[in-house]
Amino acid sequence: MPTYTVTNSNFDLTSNQQNKIAKGITKVHNIITGANTYFAQVIFNKTKKNNHYMGGKKVKEPTLFLHGQIRAGRSKEIKDKLISELKNIIIKDSKLDETQVWIYIVDLPPSQMIEYGSVLPQSGEEKDWFLNLPNKLKKKLSKIEK
């Protein structure tokens, strides 16, 4: 369901920082939206040296971008809390200043998303969706959830 892409520019994230950020993003998404943790994936990318521009000029300071694609259907209040808590996790675990962190959340209609081979449910209908999955996939997802 949610795919969070973390892109760091002009600095390196250690393996430990990536681990903390991935766990933090997953936990925040789970707590605020109620979606199971096995839906959240976090992908890390790093820009190549001299490949980041703003206003047509090279950016030299460290910057981190979090681009989250989530299922549509959640209230503004939930999304406001989600983006705020994601910012807090990124700042804490990256050690960057808040002015160096950019976060975007994009809503996608669940009917236009397939994960684990199945079209995704509407927000709040995850339990019914899970019950209709093949047993092999239920076991796999249950292991991730622990």
Residue 85 one-letter amino acid: E
Among 20-34, 63-77, 89-103, 129-143, the minimum mean pLDDT is found in: 129-143
CA separation for the pair 136, 142 (Å, rounded) = 10
What does the block give as tokens for 6? 């973390």
CA separation for the pair 4, 67 (Å, rounded) = 6
User: What is the pLDDT of the chain when averaged over all its residues?
Assistant: 94
Mean pLDDT value of segment 93-100:
96
- Both ends of the chain: CA-CA distance in Å? 18
pLDDT digits (tens, 9 = 90+) for 6-41: 999 999 999 999 999 999 999 999 999 998 899 899
Beta bridge partners of 62: none
Long-range contacts of 10-16 (CB under 8 A, 24+ apart): 10/47, 10/49, 10/52, 10/59, 10/60, 10/61, 10/62, 10/63, 11/62, 11/96, 12/46, 13/44, 13/46, 13/94
The length of the chain, given as a count of residues:
146
What per-residue confidence (pLDDT) applies to 65?
98
Residue 146 has pLDDT above 70, yes or no: no
Give the domains, in start order, of the chain with CATH numbers.
3-145 (3.30.429.10)
What per-residue confidence (pLDDT) applies to 94?
97
Mean pLDDT value of segment 84-93:
97
pLDDT digits (tens, 9 = 90+) for 47-81: 999 999 999 999 999 999 999 999 999 999 999 99
Query: Do residues 5 and 66 lie in contact, with contact meaning Cβ atoms separated by under 8 Å?
Result: yes
CA separation for the pair 48, 52 (Å, rounded) = 8
